[in-house]
Amino acid sequence: MQIENLFSTLWSQYIKLTPQAFDIKKLFLQTQTKAIINDHIALRTLSHKRCNIDVLAKFFITLGYEKKDYYDFQSKKLDAHHFIHKNLKYPKVFISELKIEEFDKETQDILNSLVSKIPKDILNKSALLSSSRHWDISYKTYKSLYAKSEYAAWFYVFGYCANHFTIFVNDLEKFDTLESVNTFLKNNGYKLNDTGGEIKGNKEVFLEQSSTLAQIIPIKFIDGTYDIPSCFYEFAKRYTNIDDDLYQGFVMSSADKIFESTNLR
Ligand code: NI
- The pLDDT tens digits of the residues spanning 47-85 come to 999 999 999 999 999 999 999 999 999 999 999 999 999
Ion ligand 1 nearby residues (CB, 5 A): 42, 234
Q: Could you list the residue range(s) of the whole structural domain that residue 80 is in?
A: 3-262
- The pLDDT tens digits of the residues spanning 132-161 come to 999 999 999 999 999 999 999 999 999 999
Name the β-bridge partners of 70.
81
Q: Domain count of the chain? A: 1
- What DSSP designation does 93 have? E
Phi, psi for 162 (deg, rounded to 5): -70, 125
Give yes or no for residue 180 having a pLDDT over 70.
yes
Report the CATH number that the domain containing residue 50 is assigned in CATH: 3.10.180.50
Q: Is the pTM of this model over 0.85?
A: yes
> How much helix, strand and coil, in percent to the nearest 5, is found in the chain?
40, 30, 30
Q: Tell me the C-alpha distance between 75 and 252, whole Å.
A: 12
CA angle 16, 17, 19 (to 5 degrees): 65
DSSP string covering 40-88: EEEEEEESSTTTSHHHHHHHHHHTTEEEEEEEEEGGGTEEEEEEEESST
Name the β-bridge partners of 80.
71, 96
Higher pLDDT, 241 or 227: 227
Cα–ligand 1 centroid distance for 149 (angstroms): 19
Cα–ligand 1 centroid distance for 167 (angstroms): 10
Cα–ligand 1 centroid distance for 151 (angstroms): 14
SS3 192: strand
Cα–ligand 1 centroid distance for 158 (angstroms): 17
